[in-house]
Chain A
């Protein structure tokens, strides 16, 4: 499943990240979004998501979100 299936305000776990050697995905992991992370979907706006991750918030766009499989 992808993030698009998650409801606003719901929490999810990152199950799998595609292309773990892609520099952007590596940056994402370094920002704390890794396999196993618990994430909350705070807001959507057009092409972008706002996620909450521990004590930080992350904006990611939909194309990048396609690399993330959730459970």
Chain B
């Protein structure tokens, strides 16, 4: 058996810990340019020689006394889980501050490697650090790296093994004589304790109360201040020893950009522009590919597989299953892969650029009215990427009250899964003004979130606001390669879901459509029975077809399933003509041509400012045709609003249970159903009223 070496990645927030780990272990863990990206411990494994390196990426911390939940996770790990080696990643341009945590980590006497990251930025400002001198003074290994490009990172693994094999512990940290004297007293009773524990015993234990008071009298300040000052002094002394040349920022591009981006008024225009461009590019770039995949599945893949299946001795039901559940259900949702991909690409790019925390600064004034501070904007923005990690990100909030207020807002932030449903219905019913409808839906979500938080804050969560302090990183140009890696990880997740959850749901729906066994007409099946019993609930909001209501049930697993289920049910219940005379060579050539055209279209779209996606009249495939008959603009809008607001996502519900508790999560679910129904009702009736006059 291989021996396992437990390596903790520790350091200040946003210094590149996760970036370094991704390079070390080939993982695609979330990286972003703001403090507080990693909020739970994440693991990765690397096999080398006789060892398995067990890396644990931790949330960033400034000191070992934590305030927020994410900080507690990191501190608990370091204090209680006894890593074999600590990989202490530091932000070189801010070395002095980072060395404070290093000092605390050294107190544990655990072998340590100091990774001087962001050396590219240090060089740019002309800063130089004497890494040999650090090695000499602390007896630790030092590596200079650039996380962005991976420079220097290959040296880390061999060093980890070496330091582990030799069991090299660092030099003990030396504080002032008077303080050391007191610690020696503690040692007498606890000879085995590490320095960190001794300091804790001295500060907190009843046992050393008189020793502590004596010390406090001698220094004229509280023990907490004494300890802090001792550590600062050590870090500062070390820093002056190893600094060869201190850099200075002359004219900083970040400051120049911030004058505009953080301007109270111009900043808002920039924000709107950024949001608009993100969606515009995501839509326009992906839409030719969405159309292409649609035709690829329907005009190529499915006839091809029918021809193939026909040559096999398979029962008729299998062919039906294939066309209804696989092509009609899963294939339908897969069509939207390019949309999901482009949106995640842009979101990841923004996350790595440093723009996201700027919005926190910009929106503070506004968020304050809701009883939370600007920082809470960050989880809310993450919600547009996916609600689940966004809810976990509320661990950075400093009080439970803030955490709950933000958590109940997040599920109303519209995620790409919802966008898939919107994109489909908008392309059917609102071709003339897609941007308006889409903006309306996103804003409606935000509006309901604000109302929810506002009401809670005026009733159950009156308490006071906690303080807002956050580091604002410089802008950083993301490396396109890592943006692609992370986008790909998101896409894989989506495809995995399509292959498991969505496929499973389609299978279930298909089975229910065909049971009890031998049922001739699907409208007499169990699926129809369940759907029909729900019709009275949804009829007032314009959804009266049992096929639509049935689709809503499995959609609780994930919202895209509303579409895949509808695909399955409508394909099964309506006669969709299959193209005959399929010729593989011609069809392949045609598909290739279509792909080239799609690529051209996609690239061209980037250079126009208007959203062009829904402009072209595309030819209708039959499923779209059918849905166009079964819905009308009013009921389509109502359906979209319902999907938007109702927390129809098992992942979100599960993570809410974990983060805020079962009861609150359950109450929220009921609330979201209720508010979704009510809003759909109002909008549906209002729309009908408008049309009638």
Binding site for B on A (CB under 8 A): 20-21, 23-24, 26-32, 34, 42-43, 45-48, 50, 52, 54-61, 63-64
Indicate with 1 or 0, residue by residue over B389-404, a CB within 8 angstroms of chain A CB atoms: 0000000001000000
Contacts of B254 in A (CB 8 A): 57
Q: Is the CB of A26 within 8 A of B228?
A: yes
**Distance in Å: Cβ of A13 to nearest Cβ of chain B:** 16
In the bound assembly, the distance between CA atoms of A52 and B398 in angstroms comes to 23
Q: Is the CB of A29 within 8 A of B228?
A: yes
Q: Is the CB of B225 within 8 A of A61?
A: no
Q: Is the CB of B468 within 8 A of A42?
A: no
- The residue among B93, B224, B467, B470 with the most chain A CB atoms within 10 A of its own CB is B467
In the bound assembly, the distance between CA atoms of A56 and B96 in angstroms comes to 11
Contacts of B62 in A (CB 8 A): 27, 30-31
In the bound assembly, the distance between CA atoms of A26 and B255 in angstroms comes to 27
Binding site for A on B (CB under 8 A): 62-63, 65, 67, 93-94, 96-97, 100-101, 125, 222, 224-225, 228, 232, 247, 249, 254-255, 258-259, 262, 264, 360-362, 364-365, 368, 373-374, 398, 465-474
Sample 21 A-B pairs with CB under 8 A, ordered by A number: A20-B225, A21-B225, A26-B63, A27-B62, A31-B471, A43-B259, A45-B361, A48-B365, A50-B361, A55-B125, A55-B247, A56-B97, A57-B254, A58-B470, A59-B361, A59-B470, A60-B468, A61-B469, A63-B467, A64-B467, A64-B469
In the bound assembly, the distance between CA atoms of A70 and B277 in angstroms comes to 42
Seed contacts A57-B472, A57-B474, A59-B374; 14 additional CB < 8 Å A-B pairs: A21-B222, A24-B398, A24-B466, A30-B100, A31-B62, A43-B262, A45-B264, A50-B258, A52-B255, A54-B94, A55-B247, A59-B364, A59-B469, A61-B467
**Distance in Å: Cβ of B391 to nearest Cβ of chain A:** 23
Contacts of A24 in B (CB 8 A): 67, 398, 466-467, 469
Contacts of B232 in A (CB 8 A): 29, 34
**Distance in Å: Cβ of A53 to nearest Cβ of chain B:** 8
In the bound assembly, the distance between CA atoms of A34 and B225 in angstroms comes to 12
Residue from the list B224, B255, B368 in contact with A47, Cβ < 8 A? B368
Contacts of A20 in B (CB 8 A): 222, 224-225, 228
In the bound assembly, the distance between CA atoms of A57 and B358 in angstroms comes to 11
Residue from the list A23, A47, A48, A59 in contact with B65, Cβ < 8 A? A23
Contacts of B465 in A (CB 8 A): 63
Residue from the list B94, B259, B360, B365 in contact with A59, Cβ < 8 A? B360
Contacts of A21 in B (CB 8 A): 222, 224-225
Q: Is the CB of B97 within 8 A of A45?
A: no
Q: Is the CB of A50 within 8 A of B472?
A: yes
Contacts of A23 in B (CB 8 A): 65, 67
In the bound assembly, the distance between CA atoms of A54 and B467 in angstroms comes to 22
**Distance in Å: Cβ of A37 to nearest Cβ of chain B:** 10
Residue from the list B94, B362, B374 in contact with A55, Cβ < 8 A? B94
Residue from the list A28, A46, A47 in contact with B469, Cβ < 8 A? A28
